[in-house]
Amino acid sequence: MSNATPVQNGFLFQDCSAIVLFFDHIKDVKSFRVEGQKEDIEFELNDGSFIYSQSKYCSKDLQKTKAKSIFQDALRTLSLADSEKCSGLVYTTNIILPFGPKTPSVDFGHHDYCIDYSNLSQDSKNIIDSIIETKQLLLDRSKLSIRIIAFQESDLQHTNSVVYQNINRFLNKLGNRFRFDEEKIMSLFMDIISYNKNNRDLSAQISKHNIIWILIDYLMSTVDPGFDHLDPALRYEVESKYEELISIYVERIQYTTAILYDYKEWCKDRSITAETVQDFVTTNWKHYSSEFDSDTIDFETLKALTIIILSKILTLRYIIEDIKGVAGIVD
């Protein structure tokens, strides 16, 4: 299987690149796809424009001899993707000297780094300009950026740590209220990317909401909001039997947003105490139970199911709002 290893590493690097680029542009991203219609990685932005990325992995022993030819191939492909609706063209690579041994060291050398064409030294610009002119490529240089992401097949721990750093740049903006398992979060992201890649419909994309609500669902599973008013045995039974349904509803933006709004309105004329959330849930749970099929669920189970979902959402109400704010999600 050694002959297949570079290909496997290339696909893995591609997926890691998608995660890193997603968090690089999270405020502006609407959706994305790996192995899209035009490029390795495609991002649709909120304004209707696109960022296209050509993702190129190269093993360490070949980087000195192959770097420049790989970059030339990437520029050729990016030039084909360039269009009026394109706002960014990104060459994503694990090669820290992307033009080969003659790469100006003043511009590169970092393992987690992004630089726009406009910020390159004149020597680096000359290399790019020469390739574009010699190959007669139609590529708007002002859109071009180069993204370095460390990835070595012999050091996957370091590889993952760089991806984790980019995830953590986002998570750190949420404060220190939670301990995050970066490995688990990355695994969840890789799963959704893999599922999307296997969809033969190339127009099918992963929305930003999908990614953000995966995070929220993960947080929901890590906290215990407390259910003093529920029988422990009933709670265990309901959570076990309806685990998937609970995840679906805490990830539904409209449903969650409506509950958070109702809770704020309900609290306006009340003093906030440790029991406020529990009081709201106990008093108002029936208003939200109509979402579920009461013909197939008995009253006690329906009540417990609704209370569990409401309690999870309200326990994490601040982190939900923070995540939406940091990610640029507007209701």
Query: CA 301 to CA 233: how far, in whole Å?
Result: 11
Task: Specify the pTM.
Answer: 0.81
Please name the amino acid found at residue 148.
I
Same domain, 77 and 190: yes
- Residue 271 in domain: yes
Let me know whether 179 and 231 are in one domain: no
Please indicate, yes or no, if residue 56 is contained in any of the structural domains: yes
Range of the domain at 30: 2-203
User: What's the pLDDT at 38?
Assistant: 94
Q: What are phi and psi of 202, to 5 degrees?
A: -70, -15
State whether 115 and 180 are in the same domain.
yes
Q: Are residues 74 and 174 in the same domain?
A: yes
Stretches in the chain below the pLDDT threshold 50? 1-4
The pLDDT assigned to 224 comes to 65
User: What's the confidence (pLDDT) of residue 227?
Assistant: 64
Q: What's the confidence (pLDDT) of residue 89?
A: 98
Give the pLDDT score at 37: 92
Whether 90 and 195 share a structural domain: yes
Query: Residue 145: what pLDDT?
Result: 98
Q: Decide if 327 is inside a domain.
A: no
pLDDT at 2: 44
Residues 88 and 172 in one domain: yes
Q: Does residue 102 share a domain with residue 58?
A: yes
Residue 300 lies in a domain: yes
Domains in the chain, number: 2
Q: Tell me the per-residue pLDDT of 161-219, one tens digit each, with 9 for 90 and over.
A: 778 888 888 888 876 666 778 888 888 999 999 999 988 898 899 999 888 888 877 87
Residue 177 belongs to a domain: yes
SS (H, E, C) the chain: CHHHHHHHHHHHHHHHHHHHHHHHCCCCEEEEEECCCCCCEEEEECCCCEEEEEEECCCHHHHHHHHHHHHHHHHHHHHHHCCCCEEEEEEEECCCCCCCCCCCCCCCCCCEEEEEHHHCCHHHHHHHHHHHHHCCCCCCHHHEEEEEECCCCCCHHHHHHHHHHHHHHHHHHHCCCCCCCHHHHHHHHHHHHHHHHCCCCCCCCEEHHHHHHHHHHHHHHHCCCCCCCCCHHHHHHHHHHCHHHHHHHHCCHHHHHHHHHHHHHHHCCCCCCCCHHHHHHHHHHHHHHHHCCCCCCCHHHHHHHHHHHHHHHHHCHHHHHHHHHHHCCCC
Tell whether 218 is covered by a domain.
no
